[in-house]
Structure 1
Amino acid sequence: MDSKEFLDALNLIEKEKGIDKEIIFEAIEASLVSACKKNFGSGQSIKVTIDRESGEVACYAQKEVVEEVMDPQTEISLGEARVLRPNYELGDMIDFEVTPRDFGRVAAQTAKQVVVQKFREAEREILYNQYITKEREVVTAIVQRRERRNVIVQMGKIDAVLSANEQIPGEQYNFMDRIKVYVLEVKQMPKGPQIFVSRTHPELVKRLFEQEVPEVHDGTVEIKSIAREAGSRTKIAVYSKNPNVDALGACVGQNGCRVNVIVNELGGEKIDVINWSEDPKEFIAAALNPSKVVEVAVNEEEQSAKIVVPDHQLSLAIGKEGQNARLSAKLTGWRIDIKSETQARETNFLDDTPAVEEPLEDVELAEEAQEDVLTEE
């Protein structure tokens, strides 16, 4: 390849691949410096230049102008320098051309290697920039294969890793299944971007509601908090500043149509949608859905609450293996202690609670639309 062909090729690369040809020139020059030092010794100060107009390559040994020469390879005396040009001063660098006879062939080989390397780097950078914008978003991925306990899924042009601890317990991942995943992290690695995704992250549920419920997407309905045990149950608290908007109804949809889409996407995971309230007693009572609550007493300083529920609903309030109470505590951020009415009377459960408690009328925790969706444990 002659110099003109080389320059034409660089112009085409810059146009089609978006790689600045100046970056390629600089990379080739740096690589040729290394090649030259193999010929002249690593102690030599070498500079390589490529003429940006003609494409001609030249190699120079650089020497610094000094008063007393200690290393002839890298230094030249002021007297010798002024023989070459009278206006040289101490500290100036003088270039002596030392271009080897076969340097054109070496330069061509180096240029080819550098261009290939820059192609790869540019493609990796383009891919990284394309996918870094998807961090903390939900995307559709296609299951490809298993690698040990990990599942590899395809996201467009690149594979992503769904690690074992980010998989929903008991969920099957079959070849070519289309699944929604939450993008945890996009890392720039030497071989290109590496993407890690999740099916268990609580934000997956939030993003799915944003996709499925227009009122959540446009901000009319706000998701205040989420508590999730992936594959089993999620509680989500919603709120709207607009008094004309039913936040719970918007998220559940007519006959549960909206929330059911998300339930199906998560393999049947139960989803309790409840109304958020700035009154902690109301919020805690609602969070214990599907159980009804007779009384709530709160201790603001300790962020703890004592709950009294009907005798026949104690097990429902606590949930299987304590799940309902655990998720309610996580959702509200309060420590929760639950007793039945009989237990509360027998143990004077509320007696040592500061006098902020007052009986709540039975709170209807599930609207008609949601009753069609939620199943009592």
Structure 2
Amino acid sequence: MSDTRSKADVIIVGGGIIGCSIAYRLAQEKLSVIVIERDRVGGEASGAAAGILGPQAEADSPDPFLDLCLASRSLYPSLAEELRSETGIDIEYLTDGLLYLAFTDEDEHELEARYRWQSSCGLRVERLSAREAREIEPRLSPEVRWALRFPDDHQVNNVKLTAALARGAIGRGARFLIGRPATKLVVENGRAVGVETPEERLSAAQVVNAAGSWSGQIDCSPAPQPPVSPVRGQMIAIETPQPVLRHVVYSSSCYLVPRIDGRLLIGSTMEHVGYNKKVTVEGIGGLLRGALEIIPSLNSYAFKEAWAGLRPYAPDKLPILGESQLPGLIIATAHFRNGILLTPITGQLIADLIISGKTSTPLERFSPNRFQ
């Protein structure tokens, strides 16, 4: 590679959905961008996810993290149209909403508390009787006691979203180097100035570590490595000859996500097992039991496939976003269960930080330096 092609304004380590989102926004601002990906674009958690945009369904209380999630969710309608216009890819942004079902006393207590505080915060949430829930989703189990409906929690096809962001970034001049793991940062005079791979040294004014579960595997000396570890999530897809659901449906055991192509996704486990992506009998068995509790008739449908992904996890379960202790190095990782949801706002905020040195949303709560 020539010297010119070895240089860029920004190097992004990681070609998952977060790295692609950042690359897309930076390329729109006419910065030169190189994305380094160890395997293939969207090949890890980005491709293994279910594409749920459910901040309200998963929130236990109002806090800055929920604010970040809600802000990102609000960006999806315009992002879907923008990407369709620019890349020709329909990211299958669906707005039917999300149901959360109560089967037990504990479920009822949790959902009742969620209904109260979200209503008081002005968030849209509806309490449905069992009859009302089955009127809108007739295949639900007769054992459902009642449900919450979150009309503003939606879904997207995460695989198509990643592809669209990558295509949009490439169309605006970003370069993707595939199959090239970043081994270490290049540091000169106390500043990150590039990245080394087994094949070459790449130079840039700014480096972004968006390597997901592998963020902590890159030698960032003298900066501390991000405290990120992988959490395995196993998933199932079954074939449904006709649609069985309109909504994304949650229970305390699992969730179900209907896809336009006729698949029904069932997820997901959360297992601290290192970099092990094996699909296990125990994991799949638990998901199937949870799915049958929600819709007993699923036992007659065909099993299509199962897989596992590794979610990047920080000790406090919050994303790591912002400038590190090392000048020139920005971290954008540890999105855990919310990587797809937080894709639009992460791309926007990190691009703003690189271009202007400031962000519209405060990032102190998510700072890489909070662990020091």
Q: Tell me the TM-score normalised to structure 1 length.
A: 0.23
> Which protein has the bigger helix share?
1
Which of the pair has the greater relative contact order for Cα pairs under 8 Å at 6+ separation? 2
Q: Tell me the TM-score normalised to structure 2 length.
A: 0.23
Larger Rg: 1
